């Protein structure tokens, strides 16, 4: 058969069979692995799709305040399937943040961040911040009233930082107010700097995942306490576990299909779900629309700044919360990973999530 | 045996679904990137005869490409494609020599578009035009 001969030809040159055995068919996962573990693969697919649609958008998009809005209108109304490419990119960016939050939630609940996976958590946390950054910088690109004023509100938050705050805001914007220099630097960050940094960090995240092995889910299987001697390197193998390919690859594929069902449902049936009427008006730096808000995932931060009597206090609370989250695996050192056996953790994490949701809703309606 | 045929059937279904998904994703991308089809700039263009003095040429865009109207010293009017038939460069009108020169590889054309010298394999394409009431209508 031609395909077998071709495979033999490649195998002889690059050792394909060995790679497949080591990385796919012989890569064993814990028997009771669940669907939550596939969210990382879903995120990789979303990231890939964002890159592909972003490259396509750059064919027609012009990063110039005079032309940006017109070029987006042109893409949406004139270019064949331009609306599809653009909506996939816009909806995809929001979905990426949402799925990333779910991924972090599952890692939190299953205690997968614990020793020796502190760096997996840390790289993931930095990726979370960078994804928010790439979404923020991309939000300005259409140069609509919504993007212009949401960026004004979002960048203005940094002014609460003592001493350097006002300068930092000016530095981010490239001027005192959001304007043409802001679009230039946000565009460079959005299409060049941040994608490269994110890709590199995804590589580091995967390297760490490969090196330590997949963590065993805390529930479902008779759990033996994992006496991990972190002084020396040990790969967490799963003898008798299920192979990544084809078994778990099928779960990945299932999760990706479910994701696409939800994603395409929004793209085709509720495309304006994310856009307020201000998204269809070109930016006017002299006319602030009423009730302008940042993107949904910044609403909690936005509301926190508003409820504290001083912005500095509001900012300090956020910095403290983010630092706590980033350093969680270094603070929470108990080996127990079952959430039902960690009442304090469960109360704090569920409480934190509820506060975040509450602040987001409050921010939306305030 | 039954298992084998079932496996084969599922494999064919999977391959079919993959091809269908690839086509569903690929078609919009190709349409998105494809150049605008249809009549691009094929509308008739109108110039005043006074726009082109004797011995001079007027270059313009027509049907998405470059064209030229030339009036020889003898008063003959011609409309030609300005795209050199050799490598696609745009020919230049040499007023003093009353011919077209392609600066890329020194191809020479007569005012009628015939090849005089150089590498062009074919004459410049002629474009239909009419002259009436002091107006030149190209197309």
- pLDDT tens for each residue of A266-310: 999 998 888 888 889 999 999 988 888 888 999 999 899 889 988
User: Which residues in chain A are contacts of B40 at CB distance < 8 A?
Assistant: none
Instruction: Say what the pLDDT of residue A154 is.
Output: 87
Q: Is residue A326, in this structure, part of any structural domain at all?
A: no
Residues 7-26 of B with CB under 8 A from A: none
Q: Is residue A167, in this structure, part of any structural domain at all?
A: yes
**Does pLDDT of A61 surpass 60?**
yes
Degrees (nearest 5) of the Cα angle A258, B33, A256? 10
User: pLDDT for A173-222, tens place per residue?
Assistant: 999 999 999 999 999 999 999 999 999 999 999 999 999 888 888 876 55
Instruction: Say what the pLDDT of residue B117 is.
Output: 95
Instruction: Say what the pLDDT of residue B98 is.
Output: 93
Q: What is the CATH number of the domain that holds A70?
A: 1.20.810.10
With cut-offs at 50, 70 and 90, classify the pLDDT of residue B91. Answer: very high
Does the ipTM surpass 0.90? no
Residues 30-59 of B with CB under 8 A from A: 31-34
Q: How far is A207 from chain B (nearest CA, A)?
A: 29
User: pLDDT for A87-116, tens place per residue?
Assistant: 999 999 999 999 999 999 999 999 999 988
With cut-offs at 50, 70 and 90, classify the pLDDT of residue A229. Answer: low
Q: Is residue A285, in this structure, part of any structural domain at all?
A: yes
Q: Is residue A336, in this structure, part of any structural domain at all?
A: no
Q: How far is B27 from chain A (nearest CA, A)?
A: 9
Q: Is residue A282, in this structure, part of any structural domain at all?
A: yes
Instruction: Say what the pLDDT of residue A221 is.
Output: 53
User: Which residues in chain B are contacts of A250 at CB distance < 8 A?
Assistant: none
Q: Is residue A334, in this structure, part of any structural domain at all?
A: no
Domain limits at A246? 36-219+239-295
Packing angle, helices A68-77 and A39-60, rounded to 10: 110
User: Which residues in chain A are contacts of B33 at CB distance < 8 A?
Assistant: 56, 59
Mutate one of B13, B18, B28 to test the A interface: name it (highest A CB count within 10 A): B28
**Does pLDDT of B92 surpass 80?**
yes
Domains: count for chain A: 1
In angstroms, the CA A83 to CA A85 distance is: 6
């Amino acid at each position: 058969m031609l395909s077998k001969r071709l495979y033999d030809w490649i195998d002889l040159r690059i050792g394909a069979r060995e790679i497949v055995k080591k990385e796919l068919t012989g890569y064993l996962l814990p028997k009771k692995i669940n669907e939550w573990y596939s969210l990382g693969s879903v995120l990789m697919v979303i990231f890939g799709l964002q890159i592909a649609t972003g490259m396509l958008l750059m064919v027609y998009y012009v990063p110039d305040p005079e032309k940006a809005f017109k070029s987006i209108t042109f893409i949406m109304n004139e270019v064949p399937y331009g609306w599809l490419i653009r909506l996939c990119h816009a909806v995809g960016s929001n979905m990426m943040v949402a799925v990333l939050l779910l991924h972090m939630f599952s890692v939190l609940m299953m205690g997968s961040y614990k020793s020796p996976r502190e760096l997996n958590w840390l790289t993931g946390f930095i990726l979370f911040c960078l994804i928010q950054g790439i979404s923020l910088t991309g939000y300005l690109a259409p140069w609509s009233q919504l993007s212009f004023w949401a960026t004004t509100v979002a960048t203005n938050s940094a002014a609460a930082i003592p001493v350097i705050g006002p300068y930092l805001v000016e530095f981010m914007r490239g001027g005192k107010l959001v304007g043409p220099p802001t679009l230039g630097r946000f565009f460079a960050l959005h299409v060049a700097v941040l994608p490269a940094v994110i890709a590199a960090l995804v590589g580091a995240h995967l390297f760490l995942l490969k090196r330590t092995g997949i963590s065993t889910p805390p529930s479902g299987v008779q759990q033996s306490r994992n006496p991990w001697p972190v002084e020396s390197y040990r790969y967490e193998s799963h003898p008798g576990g299920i192979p990544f390919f084809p078994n778990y690859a099928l779960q990945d594929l299932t999760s990706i299909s479910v994701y696409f069902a939800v994603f395409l449902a929004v793209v085709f049936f509720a495309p304006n779900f994310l856009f307020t009427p201000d998204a269809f008006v070109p930016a006017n730096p002299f006319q602030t629309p009423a009730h302008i808000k940042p993107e949904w995932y910044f609403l909690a931060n936005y509301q926190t700044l508003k409820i504290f009597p001083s912005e500095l206090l509001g900012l300090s609370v956020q910095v403290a919360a983010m630092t706590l989250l980033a350093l969680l695996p270094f603070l929470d050192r108990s080996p127990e990973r079952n959430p039902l056996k960690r009442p304090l953790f469960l109360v704090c994490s569920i409480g934190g999530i509820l506060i975040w949701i509450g602040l987001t809703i409050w921010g939306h309606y305030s | 045996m039954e298992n084998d045929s079932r496996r084969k059937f599922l494999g064919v279904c999977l391959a079919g679904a993959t091809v269908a998904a690839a086509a569903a994703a690929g078609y919009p991308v190709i349409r998105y990137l494809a150049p605008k089809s249809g009549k691009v700039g094929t509308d008739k263009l109108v110039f005043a005869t006074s726009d082109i003095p004797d011995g001079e040429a007027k270059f313009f865009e027509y049907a998405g490409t470059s064209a030229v109207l030339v009036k020889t010293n003898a008063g003959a009017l011609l409309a030609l494609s300005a795209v050199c038939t050799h490598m696609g460069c745009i020919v230049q009108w040499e007023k003093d020599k009353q011919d077209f020169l392609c600066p890329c590889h020194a191809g020479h054309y007569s005012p009628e578009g015939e090849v005089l010298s150089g590498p062009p394999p074919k004459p410049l394409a002629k474009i239909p035009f009419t002259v009436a009431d002091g107006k030149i209508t190209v197309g």
